[in-house]
Protein backbone atom coordinates (compact mmCIF):
# COMPACT_ATOMS: atom_id res chain seq x y z
CA UNK A 1 0.00 0.00 0.00
CA UNK A 2 1.48 3.34 -0.98
CA UNK A 3 0.48 6.45 0.92
CA UNK A 4 0.86 9.54 -1.23
CA UNK A 5 0.01 12.62 0.82
CA UNK A 6 -1.83 15.29 -1.11
CA UNK A 7 -1.21 18.94 -0.48
CA UNK A 8 -4.46 19.12 1.48
CA UNK A 9 -3.37 16.27 3.72
CA UNK A 10 -0.13 18.06 4.42
CA UNK A 11 -2.03 21.25 5.25
CA UNK A 12 -4.13 19.19 7.64
CA UNK A 13 -0.96 17.85 9.24
CA UNK A 14 0.40 21.36 9.69
CA UNK A 15 -2.87 22.64 11.19
CA UNK A 16 -3.05 19.71 13.62
CA UNK A 17 0.62 20.02 14.58
CA UNK A 18 0.19 23.72 15.32
CA UNK A 19 -2.92 23.07 17.40
CA UNK A 20 -1.22 20.33 19.44
CA UNK A 21 1.84 22.47 20.05
CA UNK A 22 -0.06 25.62 21.00
CA UNK A 23 -2.53 23.83 23.28
CA UNK A 24 -0.17 21.28 24.86
CA UNK A 25 -1.34 20.78 28.47
CA UNK A 26 2.18 20.72 29.94
CA UNK A 27 3.92 17.96 31.84
CA UNK A 28 2.09 15.02 33.40
CA UNK A 29 1.17 15.57 37.07
CA UNK A 30 2.52 12.96 39.47
CA UNK A 31 -0.61 12.30 41.54
CA UNK A 32 -3.24 10.06 39.96
CA UNK A 33 -6.13 12.42 40.81
CA UNK A 34 -4.39 15.47 39.33
CA UNK A 35 -3.41 13.44 36.31
CA UNK A 36 -7.05 12.55 35.64
CA UNK A 37 -8.22 16.18 35.84
CA UNK A 38 -5.35 17.18 33.56
CA UNK A 39 -6.35 14.46 31.08
CA UNK A 40 -10.05 15.40 31.24
CA UNK A 41 -9.28 19.05 30.59
CA UNK A 42 -7.16 18.05 27.61
CA UNK A 43 -9.87 15.82 26.11
CA UNK A 44 -12.40 18.64 26.45
CA UNK A 45 -10.00 21.06 24.72
CA UNK A 46 -9.54 18.60 21.84
CA UNK A 47 -13.27 17.98 21.52
CA UNK A 48 -14.27 21.63 21.69
CA UNK A 49 -11.77 22.48 18.95
CA UNK A 50 -13.08 19.68 16.69
CA UNK A 51 -9.91 17.60 17.01
CA UNK A 52 -11.34 14.52 18.78
CA UNK A 53 -12.42 11.13 17.42
CA UNK A 54 -10.55 10.86 14.09
CA UNK A 55 -12.64 7.86 12.97
CA UNK A 56 -15.95 8.84 14.62
CA UNK A 57 -18.97 10.16 12.70
CA UNK A 58 -19.45 13.95 12.76
CA UNK A 59 -22.86 13.66 14.42
CA UNK A 60 -21.28 12.38 17.66
CA UNK A 61 -18.56 15.00 17.71
CA UNK A 62 -15.98 13.04 15.70
CA UNK A 63 -13.88 14.06 12.70
CA UNK A 64 -14.87 11.24 10.29
CA UNK A 65 -11.45 11.45 8.63
CA UNK A 66 -10.56 9.58 5.46
CA UNK A 67 -7.78 6.97 5.55
CA UNK A 68 -4.69 9.11 4.95
CA UNK A 69 -5.72 11.69 7.55
CA UNK A 70 -6.38 9.07 10.21
CA UNK A 71 -2.77 7.93 9.71
CA UNK A 72 -1.53 11.53 9.89
CA UNK A 73 -3.66 12.17 12.99
CA UNK A 74 -2.11 9.27 14.90
CA UNK A 75 1.42 10.20 13.84
CA UNK A 76 1.04 13.81 14.90
CA UNK A 77 -0.74 12.90 18.13
CA UNK A 78 2.12 10.65 19.24
CA UNK A 79 4.74 13.08 18.05
CA UNK A 80 3.19 15.86 20.17
CA UNK A 81 3.33 13.76 23.41
CA UNK A 82 -0.15 14.83 24.51
CA UNK A 83 -2.31 12.71 26.88
CA UNK A 84 -4.24 9.74 25.48
CA UNK A 85 -7.84 8.69 26.16
CA UNK A 86 -9.28 8.13 29.61
CA UNK A 87 -10.78 4.71 30.30
CA UNK A 88 -11.28 2.00 27.70
CA UNK A 89 -14.59 3.10 26.17
CA UNK A 90 -13.36 5.05 23.15
CA UNK A 91 -11.73 2.26 21.21
CA UNK A 92 -13.96 -0.63 22.34
CA UNK A 93 -17.45 0.35 23.52
CA UNK A 94 -17.92 3.29 21.15
CA UNK A 95 -17.61 1.34 17.87
CA UNK A 96 -20.00 -1.27 19.29
CA UNK A 97 -22.57 1.37 20.29
CA UNK A 98 -22.16 3.12 16.93
CA UNK A 99 -22.91 -0.18 15.20
CA UNK A 100 -25.64 -1.67 17.42
CA UNK A 101 -26.97 1.11 19.66
CA UNK A 102 -30.28 2.94 19.20
CA UNK A 103 -30.26 6.59 18.13
CA UNK A 104 -31.22 7.58 21.66
CA UNK A 105 -28.29 5.59 23.15
CA UNK A 106 -25.83 7.11 20.70
CA UNK A 107 -27.03 10.62 21.54
CA UNK A 108 -26.90 9.93 25.26
CA UNK A 109 -23.50 8.23 25.51
CA UNK A 110 -21.13 8.99 22.67
CA UNK A 111 -20.32 12.71 22.81
CA UNK A 112 -19.77 12.79 26.62
CA UNK A 113 -17.45 9.78 26.27
CA UNK A 114 -15.44 11.45 23.51
CA UNK A 115 -15.19 14.73 25.43
CA UNK A 116 -13.90 12.89 28.52
CA UNK A 117 -16.95 13.95 30.57
CA UNK A 118 -17.69 10.29 31.27
CA UNK A 119 -15.07 7.60 31.74
CA UNK A 120 -15.92 4.06 30.63
CA UNK A 121 -14.46 0.72 31.74
CA UNK A 122 -14.88 -2.79 30.38
CA UNK A 123 -16.49 -5.48 32.54
CA UNK A 124 -16.11 -8.76 30.63
CA UNK A 125 -13.64 -11.02 32.50
CA UNK A 126 -14.58 -12.91 35.65
CA UNK A 127 -12.60 -15.11 38.03
CA UNK A 128 -13.68 -18.20 36.02
CA UNK A 129 -14.21 -16.61 32.62
CA UNK A 130 -11.21 -15.09 30.83
CA UNK A 131 -10.13 -16.85 27.64
CA UNK A 132 -13.36 -18.83 27.85
CA UNK A 133 -15.51 -15.73 28.16
CA UNK A 134 -18.74 -17.60 27.34
CA UNK A 135 -18.44 -19.24 30.79
CA UNK A 136 -19.34 -15.94 32.50
CA UNK A 137 -21.70 -16.12 35.47
CA UNK A 138 -22.73 -12.56 36.31
CA UNK A 139 -26.51 -12.70 36.01
CA UNK A 140 -29.03 -10.06 34.93
CA UNK A 141 -32.55 -11.20 35.85
CA UNK A 142 -35.35 -9.34 34.07
CA UNK A 143 -37.93 -7.79 36.40
CA UNK A 144 -40.38 -5.74 34.28
CA UNK A 145 -38.45 -3.00 32.55
CA UNK A 146 -35.34 -3.49 34.71
CA UNK A 147 -32.57 -6.02 35.21
CA UNK A 148 -31.26 -7.07 38.61
CA UNK A 149 -27.51 -7.68 38.23
CA UNK A 150 -25.47 -9.93 40.55
CA UNK A 151 -21.94 -11.26 40.20
CA UNK A 152 -18.27 -10.37 39.96
CA UNK A 153 -15.93 -9.03 37.29
CA UNK A 154 -12.14 -8.80 37.46
CA UNK A 155 -9.08 -7.15 35.82
CA UNK A 156 -11.19 -4.15 34.79
CA UNK A 157 -8.83 -1.46 33.53
CA UNK A 158 -9.53 2.05 34.92
CA UNK A 159 -12.72 0.85 36.64
CA UNK A 160 -11.72 2.65 39.86
CA UNK A 161 -12.49 6.01 38.25
CA UNK A 162 -15.10 4.94 35.71
CA UNK A 163 -18.59 6.40 35.45
CA UNK A 164 -20.01 3.71 33.18
CA UNK A 165 -19.21 0.04 32.74
CA UNK A 166 -19.82 -1.81 29.48
CA UNK A 167 -20.45 -5.34 30.58
CA UNK A 168 -21.39 -8.81 29.41
CA UNK A 169 -24.00 -10.44 31.63
CA UNK A 170 -25.91 -13.70 31.59
CA UNK A 171 -29.57 -13.24 30.73
CA UNK A 172 -30.05 -16.86 29.64
CA UNK A 173 -29.21 -20.09 31.42
CA UNK A 174 -25.63 -21.02 32.31
CA UNK A 175 -25.81 -23.86 29.76
CA UNK A 176 -26.83 -21.44 27.01
CA UNK A 177 -23.19 -20.25 26.96
CA UNK A 178 -22.73 -17.52 24.34
CA UNK A 179 -26.41 -17.67 23.33
CA UNK A 180 -27.55 -16.35 26.72
CA UNK A 181 -25.35 -13.25 27.07
CA UNK A 182 -26.44 -9.59 26.85
CA UNK A 183 -24.49 -6.34 26.59
CA UNK A 184 -25.43 -3.97 29.42
CA UNK A 185 -24.19 -0.51 30.27
CA UNK A 186 -24.07 -0.16 34.05
CA UNK A 187 -23.72 3.05 36.07
CA UNK A 188 -20.52 2.54 38.09
CA UNK A 189 -21.93 4.74 40.88
CA UNK A 190 -25.25 2.87 41.19
CA UNK A 191 -26.21 1.35 44.57
CA UNK A 192 -24.82 -2.21 44.82
CA UNK A 193 -21.70 -1.61 42.69
CA UNK A 194 -18.39 -2.01 44.55
CA UNK A 195 -15.08 -1.38 42.77
CA UNK A 196 -11.86 -2.56 44.46
CA UNK A 197 -8.56 -1.55 42.86
CA UNK A 198 -5.96 -4.33 42.38
CA UNK A 199 -2.25 -3.58 42.62
CA UNK A 200 -0.13 -4.89 39.75
CA UNK A 201 3.56 -5.61 39.11
CA UNK A 202 4.35 -1.95 38.41
CA UNK A 203 3.08 -0.91 41.85
CA UNK A 204 0.12 0.90 40.26
CA UNK A 205 -3.58 0.10 40.41
CA UNK A 206 -4.45 0.07 36.74
CA UNK A 207 -7.21 -2.46 37.09
CA UNK A 208 -9.84 -3.44 39.66
CA UNK A 209 -12.37 -6.07 40.55
CA UNK A 210 -16.06 -5.16 40.50
CA UNK A 211 -18.88 -6.64 42.56
CA UNK A 212 -22.57 -6.33 41.62
CA UNK A 213 -25.01 -6.86 44.44
CA UNK A 214 -28.65 -6.47 43.32
CA UNK A 215 -27.78 -3.62 40.95
CA UNK A 216 -30.80 -2.28 39.06
CA UNK A 217 -30.28 -1.47 35.40
CA UNK A 218 -32.94 -0.20 33.00
CA UNK A 219 -33.62 -2.32 29.88
CA UNK A 220 -32.97 0.91 27.98
CA UNK A 221 -29.32 0.48 28.92
CA UNK A 222 -29.01 -2.82 27.06
CA UNK A 223 -27.29 -2.51 23.70
CA UNK A 224 -28.63 -4.90 21.05
CA UNK A 225 -31.22 -7.59 21.67
CA UNK A 226 -31.50 -9.66 24.84
CA UNK A 227 -29.29 -12.79 24.63
CA UNK A 228 -27.58 -11.43 21.53
CA UNK A 229 -24.63 -9.87 23.38
CA UNK A 230 -22.04 -12.35 22.06
CA UNK A 231 -22.29 -10.79 18.60
CA UNK A 232 -21.60 -7.38 20.17
CA UNK A 233 -18.80 -8.83 22.27
CA UNK A 234 -17.08 -10.09 19.12
CA UNK A 235 -17.34 -6.66 17.52
CA UNK A 236 -15.94 -4.99 20.59
CA UNK A 237 -13.15 -7.57 21.05
CA UNK A 238 -12.16 -7.07 17.41
CA UNK A 239 -11.98 -3.32 17.99
CA UNK A 240 -10.11 -3.83 21.28
CA UNK A 241 -7.43 -5.82 19.46
CA UNK A 242 -7.31 -3.33 16.62
CA UNK A 243 -7.69 -0.26 18.86
CA UNK A 244 -4.67 1.85 18.59
CA UNK A 245 -2.85 -0.33 16.03
CA UNK A 246 -1.84 2.82 14.15
CA UNK A 247 -1.49 4.84 17.29
CA UNK A 248 0.83 2.19 18.79
CA UNK A 249 2.83 2.09 15.57
CA UNK A 250 3.27 5.87 15.77
CA UNK A 251 4.13 5.65 19.48
CA UNK A 252 6.79 2.99 18.94
CA UNK A 253 8.23 4.92 15.97
CA UNK A 254 9.00 7.71 18.45
CA UNK A 255 10.11 5.37 21.27
CA UNK A 256 12.54 3.51 19.00
CA UNK A 257 14.03 6.79 17.75
CA UNK A 258 14.54 7.82 21.37
CA UNK A 259 16.20 4.50 22.20
CA UNK A 260 18.57 4.83 19.23
CA UNK A 261 19.42 8.35 20.41
CA UNK A 262 20.12 7.04 23.90
CA UNK A 263 22.39 4.30 22.48
CA UNK A 264 24.33 7.01 20.63
CA UNK A 265 24.60 9.21 23.73
CA UNK A 266 25.96 6.31 25.75
CA UNK A 267 28.48 5.40 23.06
CA UNK A 268 27.09 1.92 22.35
CA UNK A 269 25.42 2.54 19.02
CA UNK A 270 28.41 1.13 17.12
CA UNK A 271 28.37 -2.20 18.99
CA UNK A 272 27.42 -4.76 16.28
CA UNK A 273 25.10 -6.67 18.64
CA UNK A 274 23.27 -3.47 19.58
CA UNK A 275 23.04 -2.44 15.92
CA UNK A 276 21.69 -5.82 14.94
CA UNK A 277 18.88 -5.62 17.49
CA UNK A 278 18.06 -2.01 16.67
CA UNK A 279 17.82 -2.91 12.99
CA UNK A 280 15.42 -5.74 13.85
CA UNK A 281 13.23 -3.30 15.84
CA UNK A 282 13.36 -0.82 12.97
CA UNK A 283 11.98 -3.46 10.60
CA UNK A 284 9.26 -4.38 13.07
CA UNK A 285 8.22 -0.77 13.68
CA UNK A 286 7.81 -0.31 9.93
CA UNK A 287 5.74 -3.50 9.66
CA UNK A 288 3.60 -2.20 12.53
CA UNK A 289 2.92 0.98 10.60
CA UNK A 290 1.71 -0.94 7.56
CA UNK A 291 -0.37 -3.27 9.73
CA UNK A 292 -1.91 -0.23 11.44
CA UNK A 293 -2.74 1.25 8.06
CA UNK A 294 -4.30 -2.03 6.96
CA UNK A 295 -6.46 -2.08 10.11
CA UNK A 296 -7.76 1.45 9.50
CA UNK A 297 -8.46 0.55 5.89
CA UNK A 298 -10.37 -2.65 6.90
CA UNK A 299 -12.51 -0.68 9.38
CA UNK A 300 -13.29 1.96 6.76
CA UNK A 301 -14.16 -0.61 4.09
CA UNK A 302 -15.89 -3.36 6.11
CA UNK A 303 -16.99 -1.54 9.26
CA UNK A 304 -15.09 -4.08 11.43
CA UNK A 305 -11.42 -4.85 11.87
CA UNK A 306 -12.12 -8.61 11.59
CA UNK A 307 -9.96 -11.48 12.87
CA UNK A 308 -6.80 -10.03 11.34
CA UNK A 309 -6.81 -7.59 14.29
CA UNK A 310 -5.39 -10.53 16.29
CA UNK A 311 -2.30 -10.47 14.06
CA UNK A 312 -1.78 -6.84 14.87
CA UNK A 313 -2.37 -7.35 18.59
CA UNK A 314 0.04 -10.29 18.76
CA UNK A 315 2.69 -8.43 16.77
CA UNK A 316 2.53 -5.28 18.91
CA UNK A 317 2.38 -7.07 22.26
CA UNK A 318 5.42 -9.26 21.55
CA UNK A 319 7.26 -6.29 20.02
CA UNK A 320 6.81 -4.08 23.07
CA UNK A 321 7.99 -6.83 25.41
CA UNK A 322 11.10 -7.50 23.28
CA UNK A 323 11.88 -3.79 22.93
CA UNK A 324 11.76 -3.11 26.66
CA UNK A 325 13.72 -6.26 27.52
CA UNK A 326 16.42 -5.17 25.09
CA UNK A 327 16.40 -1.58 26.40
CA UNK A 328 16.94 -2.73 29.98
CA UNK A 329 19.74 -5.10 28.88
CA UNK A 330 21.39 -2.44 26.77
CA UNK A 331 21.24 0.32 29.36
CA UNK A 332 22.52 -1.84 32.22
CA UNK A 333 21.94 -1.76 35.96
CA UNK A 334 21.24 1.98 35.95
CA UNK A 335 18.04 1.41 33.98
CA UNK A 336 16.65 -0.76 36.77
CA UNK A 337 16.05 2.22 39.07
CA UNK A 338 12.37 3.10 39.18
CA UNK A 339 10.83 6.56 38.72
CA UNK A 340 10.89 7.42 42.42
CA UNK A 341 14.66 7.00 42.63
CA UNK A 342 16.51 10.31 42.04
CA UNK A 343 19.21 8.45 40.07
CA UNK A 344 16.70 6.82 37.72
CA UNK A 345 17.52 7.00 34.03
CA UNK A 346 14.81 9.02 32.20
CA UNK A 347 12.50 8.77 35.23
CA UNK A 348 12.61 4.95 35.11
CA UNK A 349 10.72 4.76 31.83
CA UNK A 350 12.52 1.66 30.52
CA UNK A 351 12.05 -0.49 33.58
CA UNK A 352 8.50 0.91 33.87
CA UNK A 353 7.83 -0.21 30.30
CA UNK A 354 9.55 -3.55 30.93
CA UNK A 355 7.24 -4.27 33.88
CA UNK A 356 4.01 -2.97 32.37
CA UNK A 357 4.41 -4.80 29.06
CA UNK A 358 4.55 -8.17 30.85
CA UNK A 359 0.74 -7.92 30.79
CA UNK A 360 0.53 -7.08 27.08
CA UNK A 361 0.35 -10.74 26.06
CA UNK A 362 -2.56 -11.32 28.50
CA UNK A 363 -4.86 -8.28 28.14
CA UNK A 364 -7.36 -8.16 25.23
CA UNK A 365 -6.96 -11.94 24.95
CA UNK A 366 -3.74 -13.84 25.63
CA UNK A 367 -1.10 -14.46 22.97
CA UNK A 368 -2.21 -18.11 22.83
CA UNK A 369 -5.79 -17.06 22.14
CA UNK A 370 -4.65 -14.62 19.44
CA UNK A 371 -2.67 -17.45 17.83
CA UNK A 372 -5.76 -19.69 17.95
CA UNK A 373 -7.85 -16.98 16.26
CA UNK A 374 -5.23 -16.43 13.56
CA UNK A 375 -4.97 -20.20 13.01
CA UNK A 376 -8.71 -20.75 12.73
CA UNK A 377 -10.22 -17.56 11.40
CA UNK A 378 -7.40 -16.25 9.24
CA UNK A 379 -5.64 -19.45 8.13
CA UNK A 380 -8.72 -21.71 8.20
CA UNK A 381 -7.26 -24.44 10.43
CA UNK A 382 -9.61 -26.68 12.53
CA UNK A 383 -11.44 -25.21 15.55
CA UNK A 384 -9.92 -25.55 19.06
CA UNK A 385 -12.13 -28.11 20.87
CA UNK A 386 -11.41 -26.36 24.21
CA UNK A 387 -13.17 -23.19 23.05
CA UNK A 388 -16.90 -22.52 22.54
CA UNK A 389 -18.18 -23.30 19.03
CA UNK A 390 -18.31 -20.23 16.79
C1 LIG B 1 -3.34 -5.45 31.66
C2 LIG B 1 -4.66 -6.16 31.58
C3 LIG B 1 -5.81 -5.43 31.40
C4 LIG B 1 -7.05 -6.08 31.34
N5 LIG B 1 -8.17 -5.30 31.21
C6 LIG B 1 -9.38 -5.90 31.22
C7 LIG B 1 -10.57 -5.10 31.20
O8 LIG B 1 -10.52 -3.87 31.14
N9 LIG B 1 -11.76 -5.72 31.26
C10 LIG B 1 -11.87 -7.08 31.30
O11 LIG B 1 -12.99 -7.57 31.32
N12 LIG B 1 -10.76 -7.87 31.35
C13 LIG B 1 -9.53 -7.31 31.32
N14 LIG B 1 -8.38 -8.09 31.40
C15 LIG B 1 -8.52 -9.53 31.54
C16 LIG B 1 -8.06 -10.31 30.31
O17 LIG B 1 -9.00 -10.17 29.26
C18 LIG B 1 -7.91 -11.77 30.76
O19 LIG B 1 -6.86 -11.80 31.72
C20 LIG B 1 -7.54 -12.66 29.59
O21 LIG B 1 -8.65 -12.80 28.71
C22 LIG B 1 -7.10 -14.05 30.07
O23 LIG B 1 -8.02 -14.60 30.95
P24 LIG B 1 -7.56 -15.22 32.35
O25 LIG B 1 -6.71 -14.21 33.03
O26 LIG B 1 -8.78 -15.71 33.05
O27 LIG B 1 -6.61 -16.45 31.98
P28 LIG B 1 -7.07 -17.89 31.53
O29 LIG B 1 -8.12 -17.78 30.48
O30 LIG B 1 -7.38 -18.70 32.74
O31 LIG B 1 -5.76 -18.44 30.84
C32 LIG B 1 -4.67 -18.99 31.59
C33 LIG B 1 -3.64 -19.49 30.60
O34 LIG B 1 -4.21 -20.56 29.80
C35 LIG B 1 -4.07 -20.26 28.42
N36 LIG B 1 -5.24 -20.73 27.70
C37 LIG B 1 -6.54 -20.66 28.09
N38 LIG B 1 -7.35 -21.20 27.16
C39 LIG B 1 -6.56 -21.60 26.15
C40 LIG B 1 -6.79 -22.24 24.88
N41 LIG B 1 -8.02 -22.55 24.48
N42 LIG B 1 -5.72 -22.50 24.10
C43 LIG B 1 -4.45 -22.18 24.49
N44 LIG B 1 -4.17 -21.60 25.68
C45 LIG B 1 -5.21 -21.31 26.50
C46 LIG B 1 -3.98 -18.74 28.36
O47 LIG B 1 -3.32 -18.33 27.18
C48 LIG B 1 -3.17 -18.43 29.61
O49 LIG B 1 -1.81 -18.58 29.37
C50 LIG B 1 -7.13 -7.48 31.45
C51 LIG B 1 -5.96 -8.23 31.64
C52 LIG B 1 -4.74 -7.59 31.72
C53 LIG B 1 -3.51 -8.40 31.92
pLDDT digits (tens, 9 = 90+) for 340-374: 888 888 889 999 999 999 999 999 999 999 999 99
Q: For the chain, how big is the Rg over CA atoms in Å? A: 21
270: number of Cβ within 10 Å: 9
Q: What is the pLDDT of residue 2?
A: 62
Share of the chain above pLDDT 90, in %: 79
Q: What is the pLDDT of residue 6?
A: 66
Q: Is the dihedral of CA 48, 25, 353, 272 positive or negative?
A: positive
Name the pLDDT band for 169 (thresholds 50, 70, 90): very high
* pLDDT above 90 for 139: yes
Read off the pLDDT of each residue in 164-180 and give the average, rounded to a whole number.
Answer: 95
Cβ pair 70, 202 in contact under 8 A: no
Residue 18 CB partners (closer than 8 Å, separation 6+): none
Q: What is the pLDDT of residue 165?
A: 98
Residue 22 CB partners (closer than 8 Å, separation 6+): none
Q: Which CATH superfamily is domain 7-84 in?
A: Acyl-CoA dehydrogenase/oxidase, N-terminal domain (1.10.540.10)
CB 386 less than 6 A from any atom of ligand 1: yes
Q: Which of 38-42, 161-165, 217-221, 344-348 has the lowest mean pLDDT?
A: 344-348
Read off the pLDDT of each residue in 87-97 and give the average, rounded to a whole number.
Answer: 94
Task: Tell which atom from ligand 1 comes closest to the C-alpha of 368.
Answer: 47
Q: Which CATH superfamily is domain 244-378 in?
A: Butyryl-CoA Dehydrogenase, subunit A, domain 3 (1.20.140.10)
Q: Whose CA is nearest to atom 35 of ligand 1?
A: 368
Torsion angle of alpha carbons 107, 109, 110, 114, nearest 10°? Answer: 140
- Centroid of ligand 1 to alpha carbon of 358 (angstroms): 13
Q: What is the pLDDT of residue 271?
A: 96
Interatomic CA distance for residues 267 and 276, integer angstroms:
15
Looking at the chain, which residues constitute the CATH 1.10.540.10 domain(s)? Answer: 7-84
Name the pLDDT band for 179 (thresholds 50, 70, 90): very high
What rounded mean pLDDT belongs to the chain?
Answer: 93
Interatomic CA distance for residues 306 and 311, integer angstroms:
10
Read off the pLDDT of each residue in 40-65 and give the average, rounded to a whole number.
Answer: 95
Q: What is the pLDDT of residue 302?
A: 87
> CATH topology for 120-228?
Butyryl-CoA Dehydrogenase, subunit A; domain 2 (2.40.110)
Closest CA to 202 of 357, 20, 312, 371: 357
Task: Tell which atom from ligand 1 comes closest to the C-alpha of 387.
Answer: 41
* pLDDT above 80 for 241: no
Determine the Cα angle at 14 with ends 12 and 18, to 5°.
120
CB 362 less than 6 A from any atom of ligand 1: yes
Helix axes 229-242, 272-302, angle to 10 degrees: 140
Cβ pair 123, 186 in contact under 8 A: yes
Burial of 387 (0-12, 13-18, 19+ CB in 10 A): middle
Q: Which of 153-162, 286-295, 302-311, 319-328 has the lowest mean pLDDT?
A: 302-311
Name the pLDDT band for 74 (thresholds 50, 70, 90): very high
Q: What is the pLDDT of residue 84?
A: 93
Task: Tell which atom from ligand 1 comes closest to the C-alpha of 159.
Answer: 8
The pTM is what? 0.94
* pLDDT above 70 for 5: no
Interatomic CA distance for residues 168 and 318, integer angstroms:
28
Chain centroid offset of residue 180 CA: 26
CB 356 less than 6 A from any atom of ligand 1: no
Instruction: Please write the tens of the pLDDT for every residue from 258-313.
Output: 999 999 999 999 999 999 999 999 999 999 999 988 888 888 888 888 887 899 99
Looking at the chain, which residues constitute the CATH 2.40.110.10 domain(s)? Answer: 120-228
What are the phi and psi torsion angles at 277 (to 5°)?
-70, -40
* pLDDT above 70 for 4: no
* pLDDT above 90 for 119: yes
- Centroid of ligand 1 to alpha carbon of 313 (angstroms): 14
CB 124 less than 6 A from any atom of ligand 1: yes
Question: How many residues are listed for the chain in this entry?
Answer: 390
Amino acid sequence: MKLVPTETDELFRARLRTFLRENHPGSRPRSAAERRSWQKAWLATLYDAGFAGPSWPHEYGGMDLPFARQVIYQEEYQRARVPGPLGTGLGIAAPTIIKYGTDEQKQRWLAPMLRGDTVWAQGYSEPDAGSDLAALRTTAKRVGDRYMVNGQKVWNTHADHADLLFTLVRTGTQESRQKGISYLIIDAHAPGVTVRPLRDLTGGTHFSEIFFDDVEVSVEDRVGAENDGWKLARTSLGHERAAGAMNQAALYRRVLDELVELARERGIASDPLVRDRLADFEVRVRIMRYTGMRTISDILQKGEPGPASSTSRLFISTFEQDLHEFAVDMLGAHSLLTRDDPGALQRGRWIGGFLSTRASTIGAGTAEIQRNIIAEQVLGLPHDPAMPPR
